Chains A and B, each alone.
Chain A
């Protein structure tokens, strides 16, 4: 069995597929891609709704269609991959330990690694919901897998906590399959989902959205019997007297996603306190040379098209590294988020290794903004002042910085902030 590879890609979802394909197209042929599930495609396989690919293909595809296009590209290139294969550990010397039924426990040595393991749903424990602990409380993505892959409807009367896109999509999906969805509660005063999902998943089926509301009690001895929600004040504390009760057998949680980053623990790669992804350069290289990270394991995306784009960038970065074309690390410009910006990816610009003429900075805003300006500064010097008609926390934003400006500056920091008015 082959135990040496130029590149090992961990994860066969949208990020990993794009990364492997891109590395191949940039000249790296000795690649192994490892996927934990039985099929390539990752979470897209259970996202049977359409709307994927508007940026990538200028058409609307369903999740499985989008996944199949990239899986086919991997197979056409004869890139080696293994499914049903779980990576247990990455070591500092870039040894990857995986196991599967056919090969058993295997150690392979990689020259470079791309981590593309996606993210996990936050569960009830993460949000400290009070009340009983009956069955029937389940994350929205897991309910989606049961329904769309396995064919089981998890309940007949449903309430949903959190207005993230998965929750909204599941409100429609369960309604179509005959369940009654009584409402969606969102603790923020605005929805965390895309507008088109609010309209086509809730309004189309007259499902109420309770903004500034949260679940304050979960009642049921063995099976869930009812949930209680209440309005919250500006500090997110429930307001007495505003409670509403719903008789339901299912509470779906759509309360955020966390990068699945455990494999980096043993490699001592620092992570970002806000995104919980690795700290990376614009080439998506972590603080450990030759280890790259992309997709939802780096930061949670709202559109798969952007995951694909990021995967490609990691593949390009890894290929450049493997060909020995990365320069010795020199000056770094650290990215900083100031008022109105909740985080910036990448964490720093590796100035000696800017591979394209433009460096893309991705960021999210802290709240909805209308008619504001995005200000980009290199240390104290303003280099961009861009009018933004509207920005939402649920939609990732980006700004492009010219390589020349970065090369000709001695700045230590690049700062993004939103100026109102």
Chain B
């Protein structure tokens, strides 16, 4: 038996799934889809920061260009933490291209001019 909290709407249904894949506790169909995705292929956006040489801040915020597999989060964090950039950086500049060959870029989420 596995339990999920559905995050599609504020209601937050607790949905339980048994070994046969049968679900209970969902308030609507969207909950079923949510749990199916979470069971088979959970994906997340990852946000963090990288070091930046700048007059004004020490860290540049970044995000993955699309969702990555939940299991890849810590491997991608390691790559992010190897990087150091220098100002100027503009919002949505690519900081790491195709990180770990996952087909996802790491992009800046803030403009830091100097």
A202 — nearest CB in chain B belongs to which residue? B5
Mark out the residues of chain A between 7 and 52 whose CB falls within 8 Å of any chain B CB in the assembled complex: 38-39, 45, 48-50
The distance from the CB of A77 to the nearest CB of chain B, in whole angstroms, is 18
Interface size on B, residues (CB 8 A): 29
Chain B residues positioned under 8 Å from A148 (CB to CB): 49, 59, 61
Q: Cβ of A390: which chain B residues have Cβ within 8 Å of it?
A: 10-11
Chain A residues with a Cβ closer than 8 Å to the other chain, count? 33
Contact of B58 among A39, A150, A391 (CB under 8 A): A150
B97-114: CB near A (< 8 Å → 1, else 0) gives 000000000000111000
| A residues near B63, Cβ cutoff 8 Å | 48, 50, 62
Interface residues of A (CB under 8 A from B): 38-39, 45, 48-50, 60, 62-65, 68, 147-151, 176-177, 194-196, 198-200, 203-204, 370, 389-392, 395
Whole-angstrom distance between the alpha carbons of A390 and B6 in the complex? 14
A49 lies within 8 A of B111 (CB): no
Sample of 14 A–B contacts (CB below 8 Å): A38-B56, A39-B56, A62-B61, A62-B109, A65-B110, A148-B49, A148-B61, A149-B57, A149-B59, A176-B46, A195-B5, A195-B6, A203-B5, A370-B11
Whether the pair A68, B45 counts as a contact (CB closer than 8 A) is no
Contact of B109 among A64, A147, A204 (CB under 8 A): A64
Specify which chain A residues have a CB less than 8 angstroms from the CB of B57 in the assembled complex: 149-150
Does B85 lie at the interface of the complex (its beta carbon under 8 Å from any beta carbon of A)? Answer: no
Contact residue among A49, A149, A151, A370 (Cβ-Cβ distance under 8 Å from B51): A151
Q: Which 7 residue pairs spanning A and B have beta carbons closest together?
A: A195-B12, A64-B110, A48-B61, A151-B58, A196-B7, A390-B11, A62-B109
Q: Are B110 and A45 in contact (CB under 8 A)?
A: yes
Complex-state Cα separation, A200 to B12, whole angstroms: 13
Shortest Cβ gap from B51 to chain A (Å): 7
Cβ–Cβ contact B11 & A49, under 8 A: no
B39 at the interface (CB under 8 A from A): no
Whether B58 pairs with A199 at a CB distance below 8 angstroms is: no
**Alpha-carbon separation in the docked complex, A195 to B7 (Å):** 6
Q: Is B77 an interface residue (CB 8 A)?
A: yes
Question: How far, in angstroms, from A293 to B49 measured CA to CA in the complex?
Answer: 33
A62 and B10 CA atoms in complex are apart in Å by 20
A174 CB to nearest chain B CB (Å): 12
Docked-complex contact B49 and A48, CB < 8 angstroms: yes
Separation in Å of the A358 CB from the closest CB of chain B?
A: 23
| A176 and B7 contact, Cβ closer than 8 Å, known pairs A65-B109, A148-B59 | no
Verify B58–A176 contact, CB threshold 8 A: no
- Tell me which of A48, A50, A198, A395 contacts B5 (CB under 8 A): A198
**Complex contact A68–B91 (CB within 8 A):** yes
Instruction: State whether A395 and B10 are in contact (beta carbons under 8 Å apart), knowing that A38-B56, A203-B5 are contacts in the complex.
Output: yes
Question: A421: shortest Cβ distance to chain B, in Å?
Answer: 18
User: Is A48's CB under 8 angstroms from B47's CB?
Assistant: yes
